[in-house]
Structure 1
Amino acid sequence: MNATDRTPADLLRSALAADPSRPLVTYYDDATGERVELSVATFANWVSKTANLLQGDLAAAPGDRVALLLPAHWQTAVWLLACSSVGVIADMDGDPAAADLVVAGPDALDAARACTGERVALALRPLGGRFPQPPDGFLDFAVEVPGQGDRFAPYAPVDAEDPALIVAGAELSGAEVTERALGDAPDLGLTGPGARLLSMLPYDTWAGLSAGLFAPLAAGASVVLCRHADRLAEDGLARRIEDERVTATAA
């Protein structure tokens, strides 16, 4: 983190400038056997493409609310940073009827139809795969995002003091997200570059978002994000901690 970083998008830019090749997010789904590792550069590219989709095709503007009906997943992390890049408010598990846009996983499509604005569906399939049949009334993220630009510039500067995130009913500005994430890092065992945190927490609380994305990003560390870890074999977690060179855990 640099002294001038005020938003999560600033943190990502600093991470990209410092070491684009290092791992940032490693994702496991123990229900499917999926493992995906994204370097800072690859993650930032996904964020740029998603931010371009959000700002361009979806016409989202600073202050708009995006309901994210998504689990702890690497694509959710991408959307959180894309929202920060554009200046829209990421509302985790927010009310789609009160949102300007909704982004939903396959288990939340029925609820997402309450949104009268643009609707985006994520299949959450391995390797970012698309739906076999696009859901009626939704854009398929995996279809729309590949053609977006690899570089992103917001139409208007993002104010770090504006609302950026709503989680568990609490509204935080971009500056507050960044400050809280940096403050959480020591308690999570993220003492500097090279630290690697394994998180099994969902993204529906600040603790889950901090451990599963924001604190590792602020600390120059990386996260091993595990979904459905309860399905691991008895010694599976210990093997993963060793194989992934994990230095701290959050569960």
Structure 2
Amino acid sequence: MNATDRTPADLLRSALAADPGRPLVTFYDDATGERVELSVATFANWVAKTANLLQGDLGAEPGDRLALLLPAHWQSAVWLLACASVGVVAEVGGDPAGADLVVSGPDTLEEAAACSGERVALALRPLGGRFPQPPAGFADYAVEVPGQGDRFAPFVPVDADGPGLVVGGEELSYAQLVDRAREDAAKRGLTAGSRLLSGLGYDTWEGLSAGLFAALAADGSVVLCRNLDRLSTEALTARTETERVTHTAA
């Protein structure tokens, strides 16, 4: 992390320059048994491809509003950073009818169809798998993203003081987001190498911070757990030890 970093994309670039091979996001879904571990380099590659899809194929521009209808998931984290890379405002749980674009999981497709702009659907299947049948009116993320470029450059520089994220009815600029993430990291005692396990959803700032931004701001990593309530106390203890968790938010 550099003191001059003012956007989430800046934080990711600094992490990539410092240690591309270290873990950044380790994801568990305790309903399916899925586990995915993404290094900084792998995560950044997904972000670059998604940002290229967003800016190129979907025609998104800085200031556009994207309704993000996704749960806490590693692909949700990718979309949050892709939006920040382009300058698109990610409205977590936002109203698709009032958004320029919508990104939806499999359980919110009917709601997402209210968006009159570009619509992208994620199956959220293990290993980033595609839908067996593409949802009508939606681009299947797993089909569209693999062919995108591995490097990304925004057409227009991202304004750190412009709107960046809306969650829980509160709008934050990218700079405010980064400042708050740093504050949260300090409050939690996160430092370089910290491993924060989070079972919180992505529908609040607390969940977004614990599940992504605070760890990124501290040069740490996150163990993001979906459906954590299905795990026994013994299994959670074992995971904490296996994943070398240093901090917990659940």
TM-score by length of 2: 0.99
Cα separation, 1, equivalents of 2:187 and 2:200: 15
Residues 194-213 of structure 1: matches in 2 within 5 Å?
194-213=193-212
Provide the C-alpha distance between the structure 1 equivalents of 2:114 and 2:188, rounded to a whole number of angstroms.
Answer: 37
TM-score (norm 1): 0.99
> What residue in structure 2 maps to residue 171 of structure 1?
171
Contact 1:188 1:211 in 2 (8 A): no
Q: Which amino acid aligns with 1:70?
A: L
Indicate yes or no: 2:175 matched with 1:185: no
1:200-228 CA-to-partner distances (Å, cap 9, x unmatched) read 00000000000000000000000000000
Deviation at 1:149, TM superposition (A): 0.1
What are the ranges of 5 or more consecutive residues in structure 1 without an aligned counterpart?
none
Aligned partner of 1:225 in structure 2 is 224
Partners of 2:192 and 2:3 lie apart in 1 by 16
- What is the aligned-residue identity percentage? 76
Task: Report the equivalent of 2:66.
Answer: 66
Q: Is the 8 A contact 1:188 1:250 kept in 2?
A: no
Q: State how far apart, in whole Å, the 2-side matches of 1:117 and 1:159 are.
A: 23
Specify the alignment match of 1:156 in structure 2.
Answer: 156
Deviation readout 1:76-107 (Å, 9 max, x if unpaired): 00000000000010000000000000000000
Following superposition of structure 1 onto structure 2, how do residues 67-82 of structure 1 map, counting pairs within 5 Å? Answer: 67-82=67-82
State how far apart, in whole Å, the 2-side matches of 1:224 and 1:163 are. 28
Letter in 1 for 2:248: T
Q: In 1, distance between residues paired with 2:198 and 2:82?
A: 21
Q: Distance in 1 between matches of 2:62 and 2:244?
A: 39
Aligned residues of 1:196 and 1:248 also touching (Cα < 8 A): yes
Look up the SS of the partner of 2:233 in the other structure: coil
Shift of 1:246: 0.1
Offset at residue 4 of structure 1 (A): 1.4
Does the aligned pair in 2 maintain the 1:213–1:223 contact within 8 Å?
A: yes
Letter in 1 for 2:197: L
Q: How many Å apart are 1:188 and its aligned residue? A: 2.1
Q: Distance in 2 between matches of 1:188 and 1:56?
A: 38
Q: Distance between the aligned counterparts of 1:82 and 1:88, measured in 2?
A: 8
Deviation at 1:235, TM superposition (A): 0.8
- One-letter code of the match for 2:10? D
In the TM superposition, structure 1's runs of 4+ consecutive aligned residues that sit over 3 Å from their partners are: none
For residues 5-84 of structure 1, the aligned pairs below 5 Å read 5-84=5-84
Letter in 2 for 1:228: N
In structure 2, give the amino acid aligned to 1:18: A
Q: Using the TM superposition, give the Cα deviation of residue 3 of structure 1 relative to its aligned residue in structure 2, in angstroms.
A: 1.6
SS in 2 for 1:91: strand
Aligned length: 250
Give 2:103's aligned residue: 103
Instruction: Give me the whole-angstrom Cα distance separating, in 2, the residues matched to 1:17 and 1:201.
Output: 29
Equivalent AA in structure 1 for residue 17 of structure 2: A
1:250 maps to what in 2?
249
| Matching residue of 1:240 | 239
2:214, 2:247 → 1: CA distance? 12
